[in-house]
Structure 1
Amino acid sequence: MKTSFTLGAYVLGLAVVFGGAFGVGGAIGATGPAPAKTGHAGHAKAVVKETEHVPGGLQVSQSGYTLTPQTTTIAPGTETEFRFTVNGPDGRRVTAYETRHDKKLHLIVVSRDATVFRHLHPELAGDGVWSVPLTLPDAGAYRIFADFAPQGGEGLTLGADLYAAGDYAPRPLPAPSRTVTVDGYTVRLDGTLTPGAASRLTAEISRDGKPVTDLQPYLGAYGHLVALRVGDLAYLHVHPDGAPDDGVTPAGPGITFYAEVPSRGDYRLFLDFQHDGTVRTAAFTVRAEHPSGAAPSATADHGSEHSHSGH
């Protein structure tokens, strides 16, 4: 039986898995120096190894850059103009960004139970303040991810918590499934997630039993995939092989991705695709496990917070 309780009580009971504090920006100014090259979260073949760096999105500050929301609590069910800044190593607001995947910054909003997902593209004002209309459907705890690259620098993914006050009823993690239906489209996911290794995943899209072969580009590709590790929401942002204008990549029905997850456990995968002028999102729960008989590596296999196995 589900137990409903207030968000305030829920937040007080949260365990802090990864420490971090919000940085406070200084005066408005130009972009600080570029961060050290720790890897770009948006490459088609993303590699996340715990021996090299912490998985994306677990830190509010990295390489001197800090994600600073102007508010961390909003009313559920009400559209709110959500504002935030990214402050550079010099303490000033970053005002210049690289364009990656058609946008200067991607904002991902996910509920802490990994059942609600939003992919948004805020607008940047001249003073370095980002803003975007945001509606959180229900009370509860959420995680926001800012995926960006400061001008002249490598890509970063910073994360912070966001709360919608009110009565909160926890929702169970959807069971692992390789086929989902969204708005009349059926999306089948083939492939296996293997911790510490590049995993090939292919999404096959059909409608009314017929393969969709005229997908439309979205953010410079035929599909956009975000993977999140259940428990701490470690973030992995990948794009498919090929590009719509390369003369080789077909416009469906299959979209192939390569992703490397850092550990065993359950992951939530959110696939955005565009057809008939509308972007739709297919959500999967996928379990990552080592092949039968394989010896797990000490660095890649720390497990998840959940007792079941299977970003």
Structure 2
Amino acid sequence: MTNHAGHDHTTHAARGAQAGGLSVSESGYTLELDATVLGAGRQTVTFRVTGPDGQPVTEFVPEHEKELHFIAIRRDTSGFQHVHPVRDEKGVWTTELTLTPGDWRFFTDIHPAAHTGTLTLGADAAVAGAYDPRPLPEATGVARIGDYAVTLDGSLRAGEVSELTLTISRDGRPVTDLQPYLAAYGHLVALRVGDLGYLHVHPEGAPGDGVTAPGPEISFMAVAPSAGTYRLYLDFQHEGVVRTAEFTVRTTTAAPRPDATPAPEHTEHGGHHHGAHAHH
């Protein structure tokens, strides 16, 4: 989750051309879980990231104030958790998760000091017990968390950068005093339904930059690597509590550019109306 404020959006599009987190190993770095079968309930999860030399990595470039961001999600897209494990001097990471029975996917968002940029590695784990999969929530433009409502504006387009704006209110009133959380007013993780491909999503602006207001709106630049359905998870902090708003979105067909040559009438425009990470 790099602080991408002010970065070139062309770079964003290039990075978003492929979903991350689909592999347990990339560029010689591997996510190694100590256990891939876990119990239900509050569980301690330990793991390491090994480097090209096969040894646990102990030097990382902090991004959004942390050396490693850890995302846990059940395969049915429920149970989202974004946590920050603690690393010992030997490179072993430890964190606490609340797990329900079923198949889970764990992601590590990292920037090893010896590597040129960020990597998202993913690994599967199974949680024992009777699995009660949840249907995919309906696509909606408003998420409610207690007395908070988060409204999503903008659409996610396959292969093109688009802006997503999330507006937070409480009891019908705009929230204008969001608190910085990990060097941003909000963090957005986006996952592709079907394979849980992890999208790179970038916050616009940063607390204290003299431009970015502490709510009610939080804006992100995102690009979907393919048409389809995605799940969005927004973490925001208010009055000392971090809350998560969840959305189901479908990609939309990109609007034609003004200078684009009109397509022949018989050409199909691929895409169902689809509308809709991650990487923060």
* Same fold at TM > 0.5: yes
* Residue of structure 2 in register with 1:57 after alignment: 21
* Residue of structure 2 in register with 1:142 after alignment: 104
Contact 1:43 1:238 in 2 (8 A): no
Q: How does 1:167-246 map to 2 (within 5 A)?
A: 167-246=130-209
Q: How does 1:1-311 map to 2 (within 5 A)?
A: 43=4, 45=9, 46-47=12-13, 54-77=18-41, 79-136=42-99, 138-153=100-115, 154-291=117-254
State the 1:238 CA deviation: 2.3
CA–CA separation in structure 1 for the residues paired with 2:180 and 2:82: 16
State the 1:291 CA deviation: 3.8
State the 1:183 CA deviation: 2.3
**Compared CA separation, residues 71 and 255, structure 1 to 2 (3 A):** same
- Using structure 1 for the length normalisation, give the TM-score: 0.78
Q: Show structure 1 runs of 4+ deviating over 2 A.
A: 40-50, 291-295, 307-311
Q: In the TM superposition, what whole-angstrom CA distance separates every residue of 1:265-284 from its partner, at most 9, and x where no partner exists?
A: 11000000000000000000
Structure 1 spans left out of the alignment, 5+ residues: 1-39, 296-300
State the 1:42 CA deviation: 6.4
Instruction: Output the amino acid matched with 2:225.
Output: P
Identity %: 53
Contact 1:267 1:287 in 2 (8 A): yes
Instruction: Output the amino acid matched with 1:178.
Output: G
State the 1:166 CA deviation: 1.3
CA–CA separation in structure 2 for the residues paired with 1:268 and 1:258: 15
Structure 2 spans left out of the alignment, 5+ residues: 257-261, 264-268
Q: In the TM superposition, what whole-angstrom CA distance separates every residue of 1:53-105 from its partner, at most 9, and x where no partner exists?
A: x421000000000000000111112x221000001001111011111001000
Contact 1:273 1:280 in 2 (8 A): yes
State the 1:201 CA deviation: 0.3
Instruction: Output the amino acid matched with 2:13.
Output: V
CA–CA separation in structure 1 for the residues paired with 2:255 and 2:150: 27
CA–CA separation in structure 2 for the residues paired with 1:55 and 1:292: 22
Q: In the TM superposition, what whole-angstrom CA distance separates every residue of 1:188-246 from its partner, at most 9, and x where no partner exists?
A: 00001111100100000001111000000001000000000000000014231111010
Contact 1:272 1:281 in 2 (8 A): yes
* Residue of structure 1 in register with 2:259 after alignment: none
Instruction: Output the amino acid matched with 1:230.
Output: V
Contact 2:58 2:89 in 1 (8 A): yes
CA–CA separation in structure 1 for the residues paired with 2:127 and 2:270: 31
- RMSD (Å) for aligned C-alpha atoms: 2.3
